[in-house]
Homo-oligomer: A and B are copies of this chain.
């Protein structure tokens, strides 16, 4: 790509590392046998195995990935793709925690994690070719939008792919998500149990499935309680604090008598709290607030937010496992895993 025009770096410092040949020679065996030991083949005598293992230890031999992957056509690495535009939205533990889970899940299998932030649309579009060019064995994608076609392109190119969250209810690809609807439902049920009746909601961008699912949960809970989710109780947000403030402002204007709000993210909830305070309303006395994510913000908002926690790290780990499975046994079929959420009750509701 553009690298072509750049000055070429030196060759790496010529501290030549021992090769498989060196190991074999030192162990007094052939390359084949040494290779077998390294790859755990059972068809090696105990004697040879011991000799090779000793040689490896003495020489500090580490296999050359490039050479290996040239012939095996595997790279032992997977990419985690994050549209850069989204990262600011979740400067939250979300990103980090999922990564930790993914990393933990991959480490056991000796896989490397390639982090790919797609800056703009052009770059994003090129990604499919890029990723499929024997660069990675599989792809994990975060924050996929409904209209995102990159996953489809990857599927066409036969690149194993697992998504964090789904694009729509009919997601054809394997993915892992939290029980968003269930979580939202529990949040609203908590508000209902607290005697609240005029419950509004601040949603995420409705072109995202997470946002829609959380809205669905909100609706279900109200319906089950015999209430109707009037349209003017629903204010669209965008997962940002400012969006939360604006949405709250709208809700207050339309429904002055509101006594509770379920926000589809803590960040929006924190915006809502700021706006409520500005309007002279007390939380939770006048208006109760529940957020979603149980992010660090939740604990630091005044009052601390009641929020729905998603098992982020486990989601990451599960994504890694699904992907590894898909890589190992092609065409296992795309599976979806839904992990349970948990309501963390604090002072805001």
B110-A11 in contact (CB<8A): no
- The distance in angstroms between the C-alpha atoms of A100 and B119, with both chains bound, is 9
**Interchain nearest-CB distance for A68 vs B (Å):** 8
**Interchain nearest-CB distance for A22 vs B (Å):** 14
Tell which of B62, B75, B133 touches A133, judged by Cβ atoms closer than 8 Å.
B62
A90 at interface (Cβ–Cβ under 8 A)?
yes
Report B-chain residues with C-beta under 8 Å of the C-beta of A297.
Answer: 296-297, 300
B330-A158 in contact (CB<8A): no
Tell which of B84, B90, B103 touches A115, judged by Cβ atoms closer than 8 Å.
B103
Chain A interface, number of residues (Cβ within 8 angstroms): 81
- The distance in angstroms between the C-alpha atoms of A333 and B133, with both chains bound, is 36
* Segment at the B interface, from A12-20, A172-180, A202-210, A247-255: A12-20
Residues on A close to B: CB < 8 A? 1-13, 15, 17, 38-40, 60, 62-67, 69-70, 72-77, 80, 84, 87, 89-93, 95-97, 99-100, 103-104, 107-110, 112-117, 119, 123, 129-130, 132-135, 137, 157-158, 241, 270, 296-297, 299-302, 327-330
B114-A7 in contact (CB<8A): no
Q: Which B residue sits closest to A297, measured CB to CB?
A: B300
Tell which of B11, B13, B40, B73 touches A11, judged by Cβ atoms closer than 8 Å.
B73
B115-A10 in contact (CB<8A): no
Report B-chain residues with C-beta under 8 Å of the C-beta of A92.
Answer: 91, 296
Offer 9 A-B interface pairs, CB within 8 angstroms, sorted by A: A2-B108, A3-B110, A4-B39, A11-B72, A11-B74, A70-B70, A84-B100, A92-B296, A302-B302
Report B-chain residues with C-beta under 8 Å of the C-beta of A329.
Answer: 10
B1-A74 in contact (CB<8A): no
A70-B62 in contact (CB<8A): no
B74-A64 in contact (CB<8A): no
A17-B134 in contact (CB<8A): yes
With A64-B70, A80-B115, A296-B296 given, can you name 6 additional A-B contacts, CB distance below 8 Å? A3-B110, A12-B137, A17-B134, A67-B70, A70-B70, A92-B296
